[in-house]
Structure 1
Amino acid sequence: MEINDLTPAEQRVWRAFATGTEVDLRGDGEQSVRAAVVRALLLNGPREAGEIAAVKLRGARITGELDLRYATVDSVVHLTHCRFEELPDLTGAHLRYLSLRDSGMPGLSMTRTHIDGSLRLTRCRFDGPVRLDGSQISGALFLEGVEITAEPGPRPVLQLNQISVDDDLCARGLRARGAIRLDGATIAGSLDLEDADLAHPGGFVVEAEAVEIGANLLARRLRAEGRIDLRGARIPGRVDLLDARLSNPGGTALRASSCVIGEFWLRRGPRVEGMLNLRRAEINQLDVEPEMLPAQVRMLDLTYTFLTPHEPPERRLPMLERDGEGYDPHAYEQLTAAYRRIGDDQAARLVQLAKQRRRRSTLPWYGQVWGHLQDAAVGYGFRPLRAAGWLLSLLAVGSLVFAGHHPPPLKAAESPEFDPVFFTLDLLLPVISFGQESAFAPTGGYRTLAYVLVVTGWILATTVVAGVTRTVSRQ
Structure 2
Amino acid sequence: MEITDLTPAERRIWEAFPRGEGVDFRESPDEDASGGHDWGPERTVRADVLAALLLSGPSPAGQVAELNVRGARITGKLNLKYAVVDHPIRLRSCWFERKPQLYGARLRALVLNDSTLPGLTASTVTVDIDLRLSCCRVTGPVRLAGARIAGGLFLRRAVIGTPATGEEAPQETPEPPLQINHADIGTDIIAMELTVHGQTRMNGTTVAGQINLDHARLNAPGGIALHAETLSVGTDLRASRLEADGMVNLTGARIPGQAYFSRARLSAPGETALRASSCTIGELWLRECPRIDGIVNLRRSQLDMLYAEPDTWPPVVRTDGLTYRVLHPHLPAEERLPLLEREESGYLPYVYEQLAAAYRTVGDESAARDVQLAKLRRHRRTQPHHTRLWGLLQDVTVGYGFRPLRAAGWLLLLVLTGWIAYGLHHPRPLKPGEAPDFNPVFYTIDLLLPIIGFGQEEAFAPSGWYQWLSYLLIVTGWILATTTAAGVSRSLQRQ
- What residue in structure 2 maps to residue 4 of structure 1? 4
Deviates more, 1:138-147 or 1:422-431: 422-431
- What residue in structure 2 maps to residue 107 of structure 1? 119
- What residue in structure 2 maps to residue 26 of structure 1? 26
1:139-191, Cα deviation, whole Å (9 max, x unpaired) = 00001111013356522111111011010101111111111111111011111
State whether residues 117 and 139 of structure 1, in contact with CA within 8 Å, keep that contact through their aligned partners in structure 2.
Answer: yes
- What residue in structure 2 maps to residue 166 of structure 1? 186
- What residue in structure 2 maps to residue 331 of structure 1? 351
1:146 aligns with 2:158: yes
How far, CA to CA, are the matches of 1:77 and 1:238 in structure 2?
Answer: 34
1:230 to 250, 268, 279: 250
Residues 118-157 of structure 1 correspond to what in structure 2 (within 5 A)? 118-150=130-162, 153=171, 154=173, 155-157=175-177
- What residue in structure 1 maps to residue 106 of structure 2? 94
Residues 42-441 of structure 1 correspond to what in structure 2 (within 5 A)? 42-150=54-162, 153=171, 154=173, 155-412=175-432, 415-441=435-461
Instruction: Please report how far the alpha carbon of residue 451 of structure 1 lies from its aligned counterpart in structure 2 after TM superposition.
Output: 2.1
How far, CA to CA, are the matches of 1:251 and 1:174 in structure 2?
Answer: 24
How far, CA to CA, are the matches of 2:163 and 2:413 in structure 1?
Answer: 75
> Normalising by the residue count of structure 2, what TM-score does the alignment of the two structures yield?
0.92
- What residue in structure 1 maps to residue 36 of structure 2? none
Quote the RMSD (CA, aligned, Å): 1.7
SS at match of 1:72: coil
How far, CA to CA, are the matches of 1:95 and 1:430 in structure 2?
Answer: 90
State whether residues 296 and 324 of structure 1, in contact with CA within 8 Å, keep that contact through their aligned partners in structure 2.
Answer: yes
Give the unaligned 5+ runs of structure 1.
Answer: none
Instruction: Please report how far the alpha carbon of residue 222 of structure 1 lies from its aligned counterpart in structure 2 after TM superposition.
Output: 0.8
How far, CA to CA, are the matches of 2:204 and 2:371 in structure 1?
Answer: 39
State whether residues 55 and 76 of structure 1, in contact with CA within 8 Å, keep that contact through their aligned partners in structure 2.
Answer: yes
1:288-319, Cα deviation, whole Å (9 max, x unpaired) = 11122211221111111111111111211111
How far, CA to CA, are the matches of 1:86 and 1:357 in structure 2?
Answer: 66
1:444-470, Cα deviation, whole Å (9 max, x unpaired) = 433332222121112111222222222
Give 2:56's aligned amino acid.
N
Q: Indicate the percent of aligned positions where both proteins have the same amino acid.
A: 54
How far, CA to CA, are the matches of 1:190 and 1:148 in structure 2?
Answer: 21
Instruction: Please report how far the alpha carbon of residue 443 of structure 1 lies from its aligned counterpart in structure 2 after TM superposition.
Output: 4.1
Instruction: Please report how far the alpha carbon of residue 274 of structure 1 lies from its aligned counterpart in structure 2 after TM superposition.
Output: 0.9
1:109-146, Cα deviation, whole Å (9 max, x unpaired) = 11111111110011111111111011111000001111
1:39 to 40, 51, 59: 51
Instruction: Please report how far the alpha carbon of residue 405 of structure 1 lies from its aligned counterpart in structure 2 after TM superposition.
Output: 3.8
SS at match of 2:19: coil
Alignment coverage as a number of residue pairs: 475
How far, CA to CA, are the matches of 2:293 and 2:450 in structure 1?
Answer: 56
SS at match of 2:314: coil
How far, CA to CA, are the matches of 1:466 and 1:180 in structure 2?
Answer: 56
Residue 399 and residue 27 in structure 1: after superposition, are their counterparts in 2 closer, same or farther (change >3 A)?
closer
How far, CA to CA, are the matches of 2:386 and 2:115 in structure 1?
Answer: 73
Instruction: Please report how far the alpha carbon of residue 339 of structure 1 lies from its aligned counterpart in structure 2 after TM superposition.
Output: 1.6
1:357-413, Cα deviation, whole Å (9 max, x unpaired) = 111111111121112111111222222221111111111212332334444445557
State whether residues 97 and 115 of structure 1, in contact with CA within 8 Å, keep that contact through their aligned partners in structure 2.
Answer: yes
Give the unaligned 5+ runs of structure 2.
Answer: 29-38, 165-170
Instruction: Please report how far the alpha carbon of residue 98 of structure 1 lies from its aligned counterpart in structure 2 after TM superposition.
Output: 0.6
Deviates more, 1:54-63 or 1:406-415: 406-415
> Normalising by the residue count of structure 1, what TM-score does the alignment of the two structures yield?
0.96
State whether residues 339 and 347 of structure 1, in contact with CA within 8 Å, keep that contact through their aligned partners in structure 2.
Answer: yes
- What residue in structure 2 maps to residue 455 of structure 1? 475
